[in-house]
């Protein structure tokens, strides 16, 4: 084989191998997360929301939040010697659907702000609640794919942080009729929003 032919063959093989590798990468959860991060940085909400199931995330976070509130309130009432504490727990149970719906709407609005490139979550009165800019350097540390679902671990979380988290887990699902992936759940983020929307934190922030 002539030298020129060998060089051409090697070049073609390199291009084909590189192209196959790139094609594979563009179908991974990591690539979709990179696209999501780029959209948020560019303040491109419409593209960012394509990679995030806002409704499902808001629903799971609001449930986690109301469950935590209910558990705390119930424990407080059970430790109270007041004979009407049982009534208080019952009334709390009646209020739960409304509380969860209100929380869900707040979470959806906050998720929209984040996807729109707003690095700071604020209360309705404009009070600063949480600055998320320090979390912009998160990196994918682990990604386990099982069929059309994936478990992703984000690391390089700044320490210390006001939320007490070491890493952020994400659950992703392949978007139907697509090679892209969408974030459908963020279990650790539930604790973040619990702190953001906690009444005591709101009071402290307002006092400042």
pTM more than 0.85: no
- Does 9 fall in a domain? no
pLDDT-flagged residues of the chain (< 50)? 124-128, 199-208
Q: Is residue 127 part of a domain?
A: yes
The pLDDT, as a whole number, for residue 32 is 92
State the Cα–Cα distance between residues 41 and 154, nearest whole angstrom. 18
Tell whether 46 is covered by a domain: yes
- 52-84 burial, b at 16+ Cβ within 10 Å, e below that, comes to bbeeebbbbbbebbbeebbeebeeebeeeeeee
- How many structural domains does the chain have? 1
Instruction: Name the residue among 198, 179, 201, 54 with its Cα closest to residue 116.
Output: 54
Range(s) of the domain holding residue 120: 28-207
Q: Is position 21 within any domain? A: no
Whether 113 maps to a domain, the answer reads yes
Question: pLDDT per residue over 183-192, tens digit each?
Answer: 998 887 666 6
**What span, in angstroms and rounded, lies between the C-alpha atoms of 104 and 64?**
10
């Amino acid at each position: 084989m002539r030298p020129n032919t060998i060089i051409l063959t090697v070049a073609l093989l390199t291009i084909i191998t590189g192209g196959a590798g790139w094609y594979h990468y563009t179908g991974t959860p990591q690539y979709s997360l990179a696209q999501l991060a780029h959209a948020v940085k560019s303040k491109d909400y419409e593209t960012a929301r394509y990679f995030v199931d806002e409704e499902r995330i808001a629903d799971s976070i609001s449930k986690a939040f109301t469950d935590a509130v209910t558990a705390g309130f119930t424990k407080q009432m059970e430790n109270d010697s007041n004979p009407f504490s049982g009534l208080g727990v019952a009334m709390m149970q009646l209020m739960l659907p409304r509380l969860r719906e209100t929380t869900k709407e707040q979470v959806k609005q906050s998720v929209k702000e984040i996807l729109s490139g707003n690095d700071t979550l604020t209360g309705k009165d404009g009070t600063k609640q949480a600055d998320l800019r320090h979390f912009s350097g998160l990196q994918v540390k682990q990604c386990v794919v099982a069929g059309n679902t994936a478990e992703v671990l984000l690391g390089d979380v700044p320490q210390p942080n006001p939320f007490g988290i070491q890493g952020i887990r994400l659950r992703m699902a392949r978007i139907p009729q697509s090679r892209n992936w969408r974030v459908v759940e963020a279990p650790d983020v539930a604790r973040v929003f619990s702190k953001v929307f906690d009444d005591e934190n709101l009071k402290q922030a307002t006092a400042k």
